[in-house]
Amino acid sequence: MTPKTLLSAFVSGLIFALGLGLSRMTDANTVLAFLDLSGDWNPALAFVMVGAIAVHLPFYRMIRKRERPLLAERFHIPTTNIIDKKLVLGAAIFGVGWGLGGYCPGPALVSLVSFDGATPLFVAAMATGMIAQNFMRKSPQRGAQIEDQDETA
Amino acid sequence: MLESIGYAIAGGALIGLSASILLLTGGHIAGISGVFGGILQKPLVTFDKDRWRPAFFLGLLAGGLILRIIAPEVVSAPNSRGMLAVIIAGLLVGFGTRLGNGCTSGHGVCGITRFSRRSLMATLIFMATGFITATLMGVLS
């Protein structure tokens, strides 16, 4: 992995964080107000996904025409298309946590530097949940590990 | 409201740009739960072969620092929730995103862009349970 690859990943992470901030996804209270349909509902955050896909889609089409990425041997893109119990259950559990805390993983990590009491607590709990899931996946009672989760989504 | 929609679209556009840069250069998908989960689960492998993950993660933190300096008002913790709720929420988000192989970024943005049925289904489900949970909390409180 070349320094260029690492630099571009760093820059990519930085732009991602600024995007989350600009869109207000890093304001957990705004996210909770968006997910709460009972109050004075503001649909604005739904447009974050619209803006992201509108930009990523044409780039994605162009990039996939290439044989390989600029700085690597191959693309690491998931090919699984199976909708199984794990996907459904995992997404459902994630949504409950999101509606409860107002953070999905990106905004929580970006907000870490604010040192606001609840944020490091959330991130620590999130890390614990991730490690617990990994532990369960690896335990022999659940059978051999056959799936490669490296390439998320 | 129009102003906040504008910010949402502009912020989303930056997220789409970020995902495009990551894919074009290293060929990777900008899935945050995968980045963070990968670092946690395989730290040694990650720092040996998958150093793009810690690099991306550091970029996220650096971006958070910039936001903290230039626009602190956009970074705000869930004040309306108690500590117990925050802990439970974190556990569920961590566990659920790894079980379901993705979160708002990996499934919601990158997956839908690829027209992945799997990601579309995951997104519909986490949006639904997110709305239901937050709305119930709003009604009950």
pLDDT in tens, A31-69: 999 999 998 898 999 999 999 999 999 999 999 999 999
pLDDT digits 0-9 by tens, B28-44? 999 999 999 999 998 88
pLDDT band, residue A153 (cuts 50/70/90): low
**Which of B17, B24, B37 has the CB atom closest to A70's CB atom?**
B24
pLDDT band, residue A10 (cuts 50/70/90): very high
Q: Return the structure tokens found at A81.
A: 């298309």
A residues 89-128 near B, CB within 8 Å?
89-106, 108-114, 116-119, 121-128
Residue % of chain B over a pLDDT of 90:
87
Residue B39, min C-alpha distance to chain A (Å): 10
Q: Which residues of A touch B47 (CB under 8 A)?
A: none
Least reliable range by pLDDT among A1-5, A98-102, B16-20, B133-137:
A1-5
pLDDT at A152 (0 to 100): 55
Q: Which residues of B touch A27 (CB under 8 A)?
A: 73-76
Q: Which residues of A touch B37 (CB under 8 A)?
A: 130, 134, 149, 152
pLDDT band, residue A139 (cuts 50/70/90): low
Handedness of CA A46, A50, A53, A59 (dihedral sign): negative
CA distance A7 to B65: 18
Residue A140, min C-alpha distance to chain B (Å): 17
**CB proximity A138 to B under 8 Å:** no
Average the pLDDT over A119-136 and give the result: 96
> Which residues does residue B76 pair with via DSSP β-bridges, in sequence order?
A27
Write out residues in chain B with pLDDT < 50, as ranges: none
**Which of B8, B94, B109 has the CB atom closest to A47's CB atom?**
B8
Identity at A134, one-letter amino acid code: N
- Supply angle C-alpha A15, A20, A22, rounded to 5: 90
Identity at A91, one-letter amino acid code: A
Residue % of chain A over a pLDDT of 90:
78
pLDDT digits 0-9 by tens, B79-89? 888 999 999 99
Give the SS3 label for residue B113: helix
| Continuous H helices in chain A | 3-22, 28-35, 46-64, 85-101, 105-110, 118-138
pLDDT at A137 (0 to 100): 81
The closest of B134, B92, B105 to A127, measured between CA atoms, is B92
